Structure 1
């Protein structure tokens, strides 16, 4: 008697035994001598099941332990056009893919819409504890009758809707892999690392949604998102959404000169560094060059002095007194509006906080104190906040209209995230957000600014010199571009009779769609 093949989940992989007839499944399988069975990566579950069904192979699916959900939202808002179109594009791509939208464009609500359209057990993965609690608050309010749990920060729930940090989801990837039919990766650019990628690789989830404002990574691994989550199905920039979902905005670059004393010291440091780089035949024009510089600086006293000189030059450019004068002028000009000030290091944050009596937030700020500061800023008691990198990602920052970047990295991701902090439309009907970028003239900061604007070259920032009076910019007239929709494609090309446990009985998804898993 011929036994029916069984598909089982085993610690992040699939075991198919006994081997079924046919050939298509062989492309996914590898023989494991330890158990004398064929083993298949868990992330190929959907392709494998569809291939077996296409061949008419009868098999028992004991791998999946996810199930349908009753998701009845307590509130429904009219989605913005870009949210509707992003959801449509994701569904047309087989409910797998990455959506790229700027900060404040409503990615969380888009995920809620995707969950409503795909009512299955869902795992949401986020980079920080702050974001985990924000998602929890949103989903418990949206689906009051659903069980929503947390994994991370001391919580170890196992609920139909689970919100986890990347760290905790990675640690528990082997046990979570067959529990959830849908994965939502918030800030999905974190996923393609050697550590985090197992969340996707050990999961059989047939439906996957990645959300990010900036998918590109400096190591080039953003290309792995296609295999881990799915292709990029929709993208919009802040300019595309200005005046609709986001406030219109203007970028103003202000260049300041170093003082004679600062200039002399800066040139001395750069000369010392460059001499070492020239002797060592190292170019800092790439990540590899920087890595070589770091390694070379640890091998000799000369290298150590060169690295210290490099850091001192950077500190001079980022913390010049001219920037603080500009900051004082801008704060006075825009008072009493709410203003966010960003720097690249905590030392400058504390210096500004002490000199100008401005509340500061860094990674060292206790959670309760940070919550109190943000609450007072939201209520208008505090007019200005200064921070380094801690507000870039994973923190719900109250609405502000003006942001001032005194220093930062060359990362376009950081730049877009900081811009996004002032793009929320809020209660103002015709809000014009302002982003000031203060750059030390004739220093390495000019190159840093060019790199961070690399993907934003479509909109050249307005420039001002330090000695000029900074006038309030007028509201720009932005072109309204037609939103693009990816071409419609059928979700599945094969409609086979589904075997028991491999797929569920047909049920309505929306108006005319039936679930496959």
Structure 2
């Protein structure tokens, strides 16, 4: 009786449970009290799932008793099928991630082997793993690569018609966000490819709900136009390793050079362009709108509801189309096609209309977001095999494709973001025997496209004075 009484006097361990991406405790030890808030409806203390690691570390440090019923992580036997000697930067990236507690973002150019860094992290952290990717193309690439690297582990897909439940799961961001509540406590390692997509309103729940104590983000360009890349520090971890294309040039990446070609509008095009810009600027002056200000573009869009505002907006769009689609650019493209008759070439434009125009005039295969998945797969297969040597596309192939054979990229037009420049350069940087990659950028002189080009190259600095010539505002 005395023994039973003494046992009953022992403190009962707190039980940590999981509920739809959150942690639940009925009684909260002092060590983690500040991490939980009271849920009157559930009559429990609740914390975000992403707090799981911090909760467990604090409880252990305080020697507090805890019964963990929240995590359903599984240990895996991660035997690799082949030994690949990583480049020095890949070893350094892996070591930096481990030193940071197996949390953080690795920034490497496209073609520098971010996927191998992730596979090595999985090998050295043999736990159930969720990998998120932005596109179906990347979903299939990751799935195929993981099957080859870890043939004895069950690998599945979520998205593109698949809904597997496997210890290693590759998912699109959209599918992972939709199922974030049920995925949250199943995976100990969360890997986010192209991690700059994660902080958006829809997809950030993947990390916020997840209990994963280990997190790895991969990207060539962490920056976002809305500044939310700072949220990655809490969602995944800080940047732990970074290399630029220039730092890896000629080593892990193909040697490359960038060539900027300036073209001029014809006298007729220039006169029409000047008229359009003058019409737009007259309206902006009257309305007191400065496109260079933080809310300038928003005000312009809102003002386009009026007849005068609509005319100004139409003038703006026509001037932009004129600068981006001048006949001079097509003459340059014709010359480049003749200069590199045997090279595998990707031609990038900013909009689909220009894609289809180039496709018609030069009889080139084209891929846009309107291209069906099967057709896109077939076109890329022909491009990789050499059956097609040239291909024209818009923003849809900025990321999510692997075309190591490509050595020439031609940018006929693009946005002002540095990410786009790095992504398009990355399409041609895969290492190859004796490969010399060239990125041609064709820019219309005497238009705002000059500023756009400098901005995506990181050469342009904002001015305090009004910026009237911004023809690259969002569509």
Are residue 130 (structure 1) and residue 137 (structure 2) matched?
A: yes
1:450 — aligned with what?
A: 454
2:346 — aligned with what?
A: 340
User: Which of 298, 302, 307 matches 1:295?
Assistant: 302
1:436 — aligned with what?
A: 440
User: Which of 194, 204, 211 matches 1:204?
Assistant: 211
Counterparts in 2 of 1:117-516, with a 5 A limit?
Answer: 117-298=124-305, 300-426=306-432, 428=433, 430-454=434-458
> How far has the Cα of 1:402 moved from its partner?
1.0
Gaps of 5+ in 2: 1-7, 462-475
CA distance in 2, matches of 1:436, 1:286: 31
> How far has the Cα of 1:227 moved from its partner?
0.4
1:88 — aligned with what?
A: 95
CA distance in 2, matches of 1:101, 1:455: 21
> How far has the Cα of 1:456 moved from its partner?
10
User: Which of 18, 25, 28 matches 1:9?
Assistant: 18
> How far has the Cα of 1:431 moved from its partner?
1.8
CA distance in 1, matches of 2:277, 2:375: 40
Ranges of 4+ aligned residues in structure 1 off by more than 6 Å: none
1:478 — aligned with what?
A: none
Per the normalisation by structure 1, the TM-score is 0.86
> How far has the Cα of 1:396 moved from its partner?
2.2
1:47 — aligned with what?
A: 54
CA distance in 1, matches of 2:210, 2:51: 9
1:492 — aligned with what?
A: none
Which stretch of structure 1 is more off in the superposition, 332-341 or 208-217?
Answer: 332-341
1:509 — aligned with what?
A: none
Between 1 and 2, higher relative CO (CA 8 Å, sep ≥ 6) is seen in 1
How many residues of Structure 1 are paired with residues of Structure 2 in the alignment?
452
> How far has the Cα of 1:162 moved from its partner?
0.4
> 1:390 is paired with a residue of what secondary structure?
helix
CA distance in 1, matches of 2:203, 2:371: 27
CA distance in 2, matches of 1:395, 1:35: 46
Q: Tell me if structure 2 keeps the 8 A contact 1:360–1:385.
A: yes
CA distance in 2, matches of 1:33, 1:279: 55
> How far has the Cα of 1:168 moved from its partner?
0.7
2:4 — aligned with what?
A: none
Q: 1:455 to 1:48 in 2, by over 3 A?
A: farther
Q: Deviations over 1:249-292 (max 9, x none)?
A: 11111110100111111111111111111111111114521112
1:500 — aligned with what?
A: none
Per the normalisation by structure 2, the TM-score is 0.93
RMSD: 1.3
Gaps of 5+ in 1: 458-517
Q: Deviations over 1:372-417 (max 9, x none)?
A: 2222222222221111111111122342111110000001111100
Q: Tell me if structure 1 keeps the 8 A contact 2:451–2:460.
A: no
Q: Deviations over 1:415-471 (max 9, x none)?
A: 100000111112x2x3221111000001010111011011799xxxxxxxxxxxxxx
Q: Tell me if structure 1 keeps the 8 A contact 2:103–2:214.
A: yes
CA distance in 1, matches of 2:179, 2:366: 36
Q: Tell me if structure 1 keeps the 8 A contact 2:156–2:166.
A: yes
2:5 — aligned with what?
A: none
